[in-house]
Amino acid sequence: MSKKSKIVNGIQYLILTVLSVISVFPFFWMIIAATNRSVDVTKGTLLPGTYLLENLKHLMESDLNYTAAFKNSLIIAVITTVLAMIVSSAAGYAFVVYRSKARERVFNLILLSMMVPFAALMVPLFRLFSKFNSIPGLKLIGLNTMGSVVIIAVATAFLIFFFRQNTKTFPRELIEAARIDGLGELGIFIRIFMPTMKSTYAAAVTVTFMTSWNNYLWPLIALQSEDKRTLPLIISAMGSSYTPDYGMMMAAVVIATLPTALLFFLMQKQFVAGMTGSVKG
């Protein structure tokens, strides 16, 4: 290697190291802060403290209902993910397996919904969902219910697109063989397609779960009563207090970040596939 390219190489390592440190530092800091008293956090300590359990105790005992919020977030994220996997994948699957001109048109219409900003839907959705509260059959998804947060994330253009792209790699012979064996169309989808496409589902699960877990604006609008609030709402409320207890706050942030961080480290490959799935192929 020439002297010049050695220098270039060295600069590259330096830049990447600095950027990596900047990227990771807030994680490091929030974990350190979660183990320290608020006063020590403001003093700028970077050493792990012994205050973690105390911070967790304060968090559980505070009137923020942290455990309830964790439970709400988890229930919403799990139900959303399960329903989204069934509903959106069925559509993506059908657009490929039962391809027709009319269905292509419908798919293009669905794609168009990606362009619609949520900002434009805030007003009408709030009014629409408040009407649901007085309709007997739709109370379950009215304002202030978990259902209202779930139902809106079950069918998304992104997921349908993702499943449609991946269904293209699904071997048609399997469908023909199953039909000859006398399996119905729904049976083929559930018993042949779903098990074969495990890695596609894994990728979609990671992204859907994370999106639901982190969702803020719609829950902020839809979930007005305290006992219904999800983690992002509680953390946001903590952050806007005038005398924040940094130790407790960061303990709350660390716990809220754990599920998605774990999901990322355990399923890095699927995670990346799920995120970039919309540009490939």
Partner 1 sequence: MNRKKMHNGLNLKAWLFILPSLILIVAFVFYPMIQAFITSFQTGMANNLEFGGIANYKRLLTDSTFKKALFNTLLFLIVQVPVMILLALAISSMLNNKRLKLRGMFRTAIFLPAVTSLVAYSIVFKSLFATDGFVNGFLMNLHLISEPINWLTSTAFARILIIMAITWRWTGYNMIFYLSGLQSIDDSIYEAAAIDGATGFQKFRYMTVPLLKPIILFTTINSTIGTLQLFDEPMNITQGGPANTTITISQYIYNLLFKYQPNFGYAAAVSFVVVVLIVVLSFIQKKVGDKE
Site residues for partner 1, 14-33, by CB under 8 A, read 15-17, 19-20, 22-24, 26-27, 29-30, 33
Instruction: For residue 267, state whether it binds partner 1 (rule: CB under 8 A).
Output: no
Shortest Å, Cβ 116 to partner 1: 5
Residue 67 or 241 having the CB closest to partner 1: 241
Looking at residue 60, its amino acid is M
Q: Which two tokens stand for residue 28?
A: 């490091």
Instruction: For residue 69, state whether it binds partner 1 (rule: CB under 8 A).
Output: no
CA distances from 127 to 63, 122, 148, 212 (A): 30, 9, 12, 22
Q: Which two tokens stand for residue 184?
A: 């119905």
Shortest Å, Cβ 217 to partner 1: 5
CB atoms within 10 A of CB 12: 10
Selected range binding partner 1 among 47-55, 168-176, 196-204, 246-254, rule: CB under 8 A: 246-254
Residue given tokens 């007997």 in the structure block: 136
Selected range binding partner 1 among 42-50, 61-69, 74-82, 169-177, rule: CB under 8 A: 42-50
Whether the Cβ atoms of residue 154 and residue 83 lie closer than 8 Å to each other? yes
Binding mask 111-150 for partner 1 (x = CB under 8 A): --x-xxxxxxxxxxxxxx----------------------
Whether the Cβ atoms of residue 209 and residue 130 lie closer than 8 Å to each other? no
DSSP symbol at 140: G
Instruction: For residue 100, state whether it binds partner 1 (rule: CB under 8 A).
Output: yes
Residue 42 or 67 having the CB closest to partner 1: 42
Instruction: For residue 225, state whether it binds partner 1 (rule: CB under 8 A).
Output: no
Binding mask 147-176 for partner 1 (x = CB under 8 A): ----xx-xx-x--x----------------
Residue 182, by phi and psi: left (phi above 0), alpha (psi -120 to 50) or beta? left
Helix (H, G, I), strand (E, B) or coil at 195: helix
Residue 10 or 171 having the CB closest to partner 1: 10
Question: Could you give the CA distance from residue 166 to residue 170 in angstroms, rounded to a whole number?
Answer: 7
Residue 91 or 197 having the CB closest to partner 1: 91
Identified binder of partner 1 from the candidate list 80, 81, 88, 200, rule CB under 8 A: 88
Instruction: For residue 239, state whether it binds partner 1 (rule: CB under 8 A).
Output: yes
- ∠ CA 273-274-276, nearest 5°, is 65
Instruction: For residue 186, state whether it binds partner 1 (rule: CB under 8 A).
Output: yes
**Alpha-carbon dihedral 223, 226, 228, 230, rounded to 10 degrees:** 80
Question: Could you give the CA distance from residue 229 to residue 235 in angstroms, rounded to a whole number?
Answer: 10
Identified binder of partner 1 from the candidate list 69, 79, 80, 93, rule CB under 8 A: 93
Write b or e for each residue in 63-89: b if 16 or more Cβ atoms lie within 10 A of its Cβ, otherwise e: ebbbeebbebbbebbebbbebbbeebb
Instruction: For residue 202, state whether it binds partner 1 (rule: CB under 8 A).
Output: no
- ∠ CA 163-146-156, nearest 5°, is 20
Residues in the interface with partner 1 (CB under 8 A) total 89
Selected range binding partner 1 among 47-55, 58-66, 194-202, 269-277, rule: CB under 8 A: 269-277
Identified binder of partner 1 from the candidate list 44, 137, 182, 195, rule CB under 8 A: 44
